[in-house]
Amino acid sequence: EDQVTQSPEALRLQEGESSSLNCSYTVSGLRGLFWYRQDPGKGPEFLFTLYSAGEEKEKERLKATLTKKESFLHITAPKPEDSATYLCAVQATSGSARQLTFGSGTQLTVLP
């Protein structure tokens, strides 16, 4: 069974204080690892897809990296508007409809 564990559950940062969010996964065969951002009362917003170990992707202050066991979402010099819940999900190479298996998320709060 595919499993995704995110840590920490919650993270409070001062504006400008860089940090990383962790996503550990167990999957029979990884087709892709996805990062989403979710604001309160809204649907998840797509950020990145990573396909193979060693891959990195960047968008503004966010950089996602991938190894064979985990992914990190690095946040550089965060701003208050980066406050949100960040969700990690994996998609296996086989299985019913190739669904996404989500982690429980990391709630990030960036204080001004």
Residues that bind another protein (CB under 8 A): 31-32, 34, 36, 41-46, 49, 87, 96-100, 102-105, 107
Task: Report in angstroms how near the CB of residue 68 gets to another protein at its nearest.
Answer: 20
Based on CB atoms, which residue is closest to another protein, 72 or 102? 102
Closest approach, Cβ 42 to another protein, in A, equals 6
Structure tokens, 18: 């860089």
Q: Which is nearer to another protein, 46 or 60 (CB)?
A: 46
- Of the candidates 42, 46, 44, 39, which has an alpha carbon nearest to the alpha carbon of residue 64? 46
**Which segments of 39-97 are extended strands (E)?**
45-50, 56-59, 62-66, 70-75, 84-92
Separation of alpha carbons 78 and 110, rounded Å:
7
Q: Which is nearer to another protein, 24 or 49 (CB)?
A: 49
